[in-house]
Structure formats: C-alpha cells, structure tokens
Amino acid sequence: MSTTSVLRTVVIALGGNAITAEDQSGTYAEMLVNCQRMAKAVNALVDGGWRVVVTHGNGPQVGNLSLQQGAAEPTVPAQPLSSLVAMTQGWLGGLIELALRNTGSASMPPVVSVVTHVVVDPRDPGFLKLTKPIGPFYEKDAAQARTDELGWQMVEDSGRGYRRVVASPHPVSMLESDAIATLVDKGFLVIAAGGGGVPVIRSQGLLQGVDAVVDKDRAAAILAAQLKADALLLVTGVDSVLLDFGKPTQRALHDVGAEEMLRHNDDGQFPSGSMGPKVEAAVEYLGQCNGQAVITSVDKMVPALEGMKGVGTRIRRTTVRVP
C-alpha cells in the first residue's frame, strides 16, 4: 500500500449488472469471475493510496431471488423485498470480499462487509411511480405473461428487453454511516450499502423495512457525503458519459461542471433508467462535499480517478442545484 501522507477516501458504486452481465444467467462461477475483475481495479486504487468503501448494485440478483421466493411457495414462505435486499448484501458482499482478498497484494488492508440500512421517506413519490428495474430481461410476450400471472409492472429497459420495476424512493440517511466511518479511519476496506441499502422507514418511533429497492448510486452519494469522502466513483458500462448517445453527433464529456451536467440532464440527455440517476447522484454528492465525482467503466477506474486527460467523466463542484 502507498505510503502517501495524505489519505484520500473514495466511495465506489459498482453495478449489479457488472456482477451478472446481460448475457449471463447469474451462476456463482460467472459472478465470481466478474467480481475478481472488479476487485483488481479496486485493489489498484488501494495500492495508489486511496481508502476505499465499496458499494454495489443488486438489480439482477434481487430479481432472481424474488423469482426463487415465488417458486418455493407455499412450501417456503416468501420474504418481503427489504429482506431480499439484506440477503443480497450478504451474498454479493461475500463474493466481493473473497475476490478482493484473493487479488490483493500482501499489504492490502483488512476487508469487512457491513449490512447497511438506509432511511427513506414514506411519502416519497417513488412509492407511487415504480421505476427501479430488477431481475432478468424478458421478451415482450414473456413480460406480458409475468404481468398477467404475477401482477408485476414491466417496462422496456434501454432497448435490451423488458424488466420488472419496483418502488425506488430516494435515500435520506444511512444508519450505519458512523460505524463505517470508524472502520475506514481504522484502516479497513469496507463493503457497504449493497443494493442501495435495506430500505427502512420510521413509524411511530420504530424502524421497519419497506418493499422497495433504493438506487445504489444515490445511496453511494449519501454515504460519500456522510463520510465526507474525497471522491465518489460511479462505475458503469461505458468509459465516459456521452451526449447525443447513438446519434452522429455523439460525443464524450470528460471534464465538466455540475451545473452543466444538470442542464444536459434537464434537456433529456440522460435517461432515468440508465445515466440519469448517476448524474443526479454525482451532483447531489458535490452539493455537500468539496470533492470530485467520476463516472467511468471498471477498466478505467484508476486513470479516471487520478485525472488522466480524456479518460472518464470528472464532474467539478460549481454552484450546485441539488435535484
């Protein structure tokens, strides 16, 4: 590990689709290989002197787990969606932890996974308009059959097929942020807020889980702000954020201010089902911290975060309007 005198903290948001790729079924072997690829990039950041907190998505995995729950009834009672999020935290956190340990250098820090809860507002409009895709992709006829049989709401997802959508309220705070901060200060590499965290609401003075899946990028932004992290790194399937995606005028953004990103978002450049939440999460973090937000692919994590010209999309703090 680097002996740099200035310790920098980065919160990394890895996608659930990076753990189970679009063309994969989600076997243990497939996910482990994908986690090892991500772990190598994370460990390169550790070797570069960064203190790292890893968050991850769970869209494909929590959807598959939901299918298993339904198939096992009535022999095994199905559990609520909030419990399935907790299950995927342990499941995927364990895979990522093994991959980090197996690919890290001899000087890598100790690794720990934290089951994390995120507080949401029961009045959030995300409970009324379902937007978060989970589970596998379906052809149109198969999607309609799921709707007819199970009452699921299905939407077309970025031209790749149809997926089930569930409630996705915005995170307000993370219950374990103080514990995570203590672990980071003690030198641990922490895996936390898996799947956006287990969503909970406060009701009559008590905390209780709710049926929802919080967007992992928004949760990572909340955690990064609560930790006062130096950087938020949002990992996606492209090297840089693109304007006019798929058009002859398509072009990459590399170094841009937060206000400009919001203008592009308002112009409809970043769909709500793909890049939109990442851009909004980045700007939300920058509204609370004087750090940097970076959006890039797994393979470009290190050079993008270190500021290599023409690599990744780095968003600077300007006079920020939080969406």
Q: How far apart are CA 107 and CA 321, in angstroms?
A: 41
Q: Is 300 a catalytic residue?
A: no
Which one is catalytic: 17, 43, 58, 64? 17
Confidence (pLDDT) at 70: 84
Q: CA-to-CA distance for 313 and 305, rounded, in angstroms?
A: 9
CA distance to 97, 194, 235, per residue, from 57 (Å): 15, 6, 10
Q: How far apart are CA 144 and CA 157, in angstroms?
A: 14
* Average pLDDT over every residue of 164-173: 91
Alpha-carbon 261 to chain mean position: 19
- Catalytic residue, chosen from 15, 16, 195, 312, is 16
Given 59, 216, 300, 312, the catalytic residue = 216
Residues sharing a CB contact under 8 Å with residue 323, sequence separation 6 or more, in sequence order: 262, 265, 280, 283, 284
pLDDT band per the 50, 70, 90 thresholds, residue 6: low
Residues in the chain: 323
Q: List, for residues 99-150, the tens digit of each pLDDT value.
A: 999 998 888 899 999 999 999 999 999 999 888 888 778 889 988 988 888 7
What's the predicted TM-score (pTM) here? 0.88
Given the structure tokens 């990076």, which residue do they identify?
18
Distance, first Cα to last Cα, the chain = 38
The DSSP annotation for 194-208 comes to GGG-EEEEEETTEEE
In the annotation, is 43 catalytic?
A: no
Q: Tell me the average pLDDT across 188-206.
A: 95
CB 193 within 8 A of CB 55: yes
Q: Which residues contact 10 (CB under 8 A, 6 or more apart)?
A: 45, 50, 51, 52, 53, 229, 230, 231, 232, 233, 305
Predicted pLDDT of residue 323: 52
Q: What are 52's two structure tokens? A: 């790292």
Tokens 């290599």 correspond to 308
Structure-derived torsion over alpha carbons of residues 233, 235, 241, 247, reported in degrees to the nearest 10: -170
Q: How confident is the model at residue 59 (pLDDT cuts 50, 70, 90)?
A: confident
- The residue-averaged pLDDT of 184-205 equals 95
**Measured distance CA(4)–CA(8) in Å, rounded:** 9
Q: What is the pLDDT of residue 94?
A: 95
Mean per-residue pLDDT, 89-106: 93
**Looking at 43, 63, 93, 132, which residue is catalytic?**
132
Q: Which residue is catalytic, options 59, 93, 135, 278?
A: 278
Residue that is written with structure tokens 């690794």 in the block: 111
Domain ranges of the chain: 8-117+175-316
- Residue 188: is its pLDDT beyond 70? yes
Lowest mean pLDDT among 71-85, 141-155, 180-194, 207-221: 141-155
State the average pLDDT for the chain. Answer: 90
Is residue 194 a contact partner of residue 89, using CB atoms and an 8 Å limit?
yes
How do 198-203 and 206-209 pair as beta strands? Answer: antiparallel
The CATH number given to 8-117+175-316 is 3.40.1160.10
Rounded to whole angstroms, the Cα distance separating 215 from 189 reads 22
| pLDDT tens-digit readout, 268-296 | 999 876 788 899 999 999 999 989 999 99
User: Residue 189: its pLDDT value, please?
Assistant: 97
3-class SS of residue 218: helix
Q: In sequence order, which residues have a C-beta less than 8 Å from that of residue 106 and are 6 or more positions away?
A: none
132 has catalytic annotation: yes
Give the count of alpha carbons within 13 A of 28, CB side only.
4
